[in-house]
Structure 1
Amino acid sequence: MWSHGVVGAIEPDPAVLTEVAARVAAEAADLVRTARADISAGRGVAVDTKTSDTDVVTAVDHDSERFVRRRLAELRPGDPVLGEEGGGEVGTESAEGSAAVTWVVDPIDGTVNFLYGFPVFAVSVAAQVGGVSVAGAVVEPVSGRRWTATRGAGAWLDGEPLRVSRPAGLDQALLATGFAYQVRRRARQARLMAGVLEHVRDIRRAGAASLDLCAVAAGWHDAYFEHGLNRWDWAAGALIAAEAGAVVSLPGEDPQLGADATLAASPAVASALRAVLVDCGAADV
């Protein structure tokens, strides 16, 4: 039951935090799904831009984040929230010196897909302690799929445990990636992927980092690599991938891949893929 250990709970129990993340993400996904149906019915949506003319944010992004913040305030009063649209900071320690929980929220990951009606977008909610994800959920509004993970306890898709793939070699690996909104960086990323392409089975680009990371967890992709992700892009998805057995490197952890690079890969190809990325100039992207 959702109510057990949730309302009024303040202790950083990862299992309880996963329950909260899954509940709030699912509720926000219902809001997003309803809004998408309204758009499909011709009722439209207000759209603005952020870092470039192609980096969009909709009124639904803001509505979803406001909803998530309100629900977290009810279920986890006092916990800070870092959201893509509303900002915030990552907490480390509480005033009492115990580990504090910060919630990291992407109200719609894959906003361009959402705007176009391409059904690859999600709500991502993660709990972090000291900047490290300990619980997370990614919920797809269109399909209803719920991806969850608890640090040290595994990852699941709709309650079924997840394990990464075991490709025979890098040349048999399906790699997911993404591109920045800034034109010059997109061009550098494209050149990098052109070099990598000859070493892998193929490349996919779906447009939602959280779901790409979840796909690695499920074995639908063998690996995922991208520059330029923000914390809300990977906070839940990277935990889900890691708990399913993926080798994960987050921004700032591997300078040879680039200061803001994210890598998640099956252990069967992680080392080989990293070597190819380095050789192809990932650090310069």
Structure 2
Amino acid sequence: MPKSLQEAGTSAFTASAYDAELLASTAAAVRAAGSALIERYGDVVRYETREELMRALAANDDVALGILRPRLTELRPDARWVEEELEGGALPPGEWWVVDPAEGNVNHLHALPDWAVTATLVRDNQPVLTAVHLPLTGETYTALAGGGAHLDGRPLRVAPTTDLGLSIVATSQARPDEAEEVVRRVGSSITAMLFDALVVRTSVPATLHLLNLAAGRIDAFWQFAGARADLLPGALLVAEAGGRVSDAEGRHWTPQSGSFLAAAPGVHAEAVATLSR
């Protein structure tokens, strides 16, 4: 396995034929789950309490997991499951499915288009493969460690941008009820980027920004804190599309890191400098 996402992105690791077949089956599973969620999409789901909101979110998750869990378990019966999608940090050794059955679930409930279904296989704390399906467009993004990043089979490459002042950049809220120091750090980082970048986008979920980065549509994405499920799929996609993945200070990123930065190589150093002020 590669020692880091960056090594994977520079093809230091050769993807196995078995993992390539496994990725194809994983992509089929997220597409099937997406089809079930799109049947529930349309009207805004109203709620008056946090409890009602959590029940509505859980209902979407349960529908998608009812499809994903049996299919992915059949593919890798010995792989364990990360049961809490908002968890972060390192995983025990071995294989794990890191799944977000309705990434951007709150957007789905509000009849907003920014949601997806994701499944990532992690092996000894390194993402091996990921599949992200956008049911409303029918697009499926995939990445395989050492095998590149693709959109419906077409190779993805990050943008050749070399000037942060000409860049579209993005950030996302990691989770509701974030600690005060994280909220203040997010606010100050957005202010810094408003001075240094061309345009700053702020929305959830993180995965959709990272898809756009891997496809060369935007130039950088950062986030403070964050869960495995909302960063690992996009991190692998960006690395395999030739992007740089680090923490906000430019150091090696792992799921234990307190910050995250992914960028086109030509603006990564400038983005680090801006976020480090």
Q: Residues of 2 paired with 1:278 and 1:35: CA distance?
A: 42
Is residue 49–residue 57 contact of structure 1 (8 Å, CA) maintained in 2?
no
Per the TM alignment, residue 228 of structure 1 is displaced from its structure 2 partner at its CA by 2.0
Per the TM alignment, residue 74 of structure 1 is displaced from its structure 2 partner at its CA by 2.3
State the match for 2:267 in structure 1: 269
Is residue 86–residue 228 contact of structure 2 (8 Å, CA) maintained in 1?
no
User: Matched residue of 2:275: which SS?
Assistant: helix
Q: How many residues align?
A: 255
Q: 1:85 to 1:224 in 2, by over 3 A?
A: closer
TM-score (norm 1): 0.79
Match of 1:142 among 136, 142, 146: 136
Per the TM alignment, residue 84 of structure 1 is displaced from its structure 2 partner at its CA by 3.5
Match of 1:152 among 146, 156, 159: 146
- The equivalences for 1:96-245 within 5 A come to 100-179=94-173, 180-182=175-177, 184=180, 185-245=182-242
State the match for 1:90 in structure 2: 91
- Amino acid in structure 2 at the alignment position of 1:181: P
Is residue 250–residue 269 contact of structure 2 (8 Å, CA) maintained in 1?
no
1:223-247 CA-partner distances (Å, limit 9, x unpaired): 1001121001112111011100110
State the match for 1:24 in structure 2: 29
Question: In angstroms, what is the RMSD of aligned CA positions?
Answer: 3.2
Q: Which deviates further from its counterpart, 191-200 or 213-222?
A: 191-200
Per the TM alignment, residue 178 of structure 1 is displaced from its structure 2 partner at its CA by 0.8
Q: Which deviates further from its counterpart, 56-65 or 136-145?
A: 56-65
Is residue 245–residue 263 contact of structure 2 (8 Å, CA) maintained in 1?
yes
Q: Which deviates further from its counterpart, 268-277 or 58-67?
A: 58-67
Q: Residues of 2 paired with 1:107 and 1:275: CA distance?
A: 35
Match of 1:247 among 237, 244, 256: 244
Moved over 6 A (4+): 45-48, 86-89
1:143-193 CA-partner distances (Å, limit 9, x unpaired): 111000111110001111000001130111110101242263434312221
1:17-55 CA-partner distances (Å, limit 9, x unpaired): 312321111111111111114xx2x8x5889849xx89x
Q: Residues of 1 paired with 2:249 and 2:25: CA distance?
A: 28
Q: Which runs of 5+ in 2 are unaligned?
A: 1-15
State the match for 1:63 in structure 2: 63
Q: Which runs of 5+ in 1 are unaligned?
A: 1-10, 93-99, 280-285
TM-score (norm 2): 0.81
Q: Residues of 1 paired with 2:203 and 2:27: CA distance?
A: 23
Asked whether 1:15 is paired with 2:10, we answer no
Is residue 252–residue 259 contact of structure 1 (8 Å, CA) maintained in 2?
no
Q: Residues of 1 paired with 2:247 and 2:129: CA distance?
A: 16
Is residue 22–residue 146 contact of structure 1 (8 Å, CA) maintained in 2?
yes
User: Matched residue of 2:276: which SS?
Assistant: helix
Q: Residues of 1 paired with 2:46 and 2:165: CA distance?
A: 43
Q: Which deviates further from its counterpart, 12-21 or 102-111?
A: 12-21
Q: Residues of 1 paired with 2:57 and 2:222: CA distance?
A: 24
Q: 1:66 to 1:91 in 2, by over 3 A?
A: farther
Greater relative CO (CA pairs within 8 A, separation 6+):
2
Q: Which deviates further from its counterpart, 172-181 or 187-196?
A: 187-196
Q: 1:62 to 1:90 in 2, by over 3 A?
A: farther
Q: Residues of 1 paired with 2:191 and 2:92: CA distance?
A: 39
1:55-106 CA-partner distances (Å, limit 9, x unpaired): x8341123212331122122322221114459899341xxxxxxx4211101
Per the TM alignment, residue 265 of structure 1 is displaced from its structure 2 partner at its CA by 0.2
Q: Residues of 1 paired with 2:119 and 2:98: CA distance?
A: 6
User: Matched residue of 1:36: which SS?
Assistant: coil
Q: Residues of 1 paired with 2:251 and 2:193: CA distance?
A: 18
